[in-house]
Amino acid sequence: MSSQKIRDLRGLGAKSEASLAKVGIHTVDDLKARGAVRAYLSVCRHAQSQGHARPSMNFLYALVGGLTERSWLEVAQTEKTHLLADLDALERLDM
């Protein structure tokens, strides 16, 4: 199992790594196992439980981009509709 740091992924840094660590995602393998959409939703729920605003959708795009070695802008342009649908479906399932 790899212990590659999340901050080493394209488009992600120390702040992203810290946000993910708060929901139990500490390595790239953890992020892959959870998946970008579930990880994003976990971070959103944690932020809201602490009285903070949800992270922007750009964070989701950056997670996908980091895992696929693409820019978050490219992900936003090519996968936005698909990712929004996945997020909506997951939120409905977890209600």
pLDDT of residue 95: 53
- Burial of 54 by CB count in 10 Å (0-12 exposed, 13-18 middle, 19+ buried)? middle
State what percent of residues in the chain have pLDDT above 70: 97
Q: Is the pLDDT confidence value at 2 over 80? A: no
**How many Cα atoms occupy the beta-carbon half-sphere of 3 within 13 Å?**
0
What is the Cα–Cα distance from 3 to 78, expressed in whole angstroms? Answer: 29
| Entry pTM | 0.93
pLDDT of residue 94: 77
